[in-house]
Amino acid sequence: GAVVSQHPSRVICKSGTSVKIECRSLDFQATTMFWYRQFPKQSLMLMATSNEGSKATYEQGVEKDKFLINHASLTLSTLTVTSAHPEDSSFYICSARGTSGGATDTQYFGPGTRLTVL
């Protein structure tokens, strides 16, 4: 089946630094990727939807200048948390929607990245 990977799986950084999280579709092409965030003991929340080659669409309340999303190719999307602060500590999950090879219109989810900002 289709596989989505995320890197890194865990990251600890100092306040004020920027952190980049990668999301890759390993065996299929994904025109659309979704980024989610989950705080401890809370449900998953959609942050933004990104389409390859165009600007991401952010959900209400998500700062686009703080969470930079780049979807430069059909297999890679990146989320950069700029000037991270402790309140950005969360679990970030991406998903990718395929375009062909049996993956059309089905979302496949990555294992997540746990970010801790000190």
Partner 1 sequence: KQEVTQIPAALSVPEGENLVLNCSFTDSAIYNLQWFRQDPGKGLTSLLLIQSSQREQTSGRLNASLDKSSGRSTLYIAASQPGDSATYLCAVSSNYQLIWGAGTKLIIKP
Chain residues in the site for partner 1 (CB under 8 A): 1, 9-10, 34, 36, 41-46, 49, 91, 93, 95, 105, 107, 109-112, 114
Kindly tell me which of 4 and 81 has the beta carbon lying closer to partner 1: 4
Residue (3 or 83) nearer to partner 1, CB: 3
Confirm if 37 and 66 have CB atoms less than 8 A apart: no
Query: Residue 34 — φ and ψ, nearest 5°?
Result: -115, 145
Q: How far is the CB of 80 from partner 1 (least distance, A)?
A: 20
**117, 111, 115: which is closest to 23 by C-alpha?**
111
Residue number, 10 or 85, with CB nearest to partner 1 = 10
SS3 (DSSP) at 10:
strand
Q: Which two tokens stand for residue 96?
A: 């990718």
d(CA 69, CA 71): 7
Q: Least distance from C-beta 115 to partner 1, angstroms?
A: 11
Rounded to a whole number of angstroms, the minimum distance from the CB of residue 9 to partner 1 is 6
Least Å distance, CB 76 to partner 1, is: 19
Q: By C-beta, is 16 or 36 nearer to partner 1? A: 36
Cβ atoms 59, 48 nearer than 8 A = yes
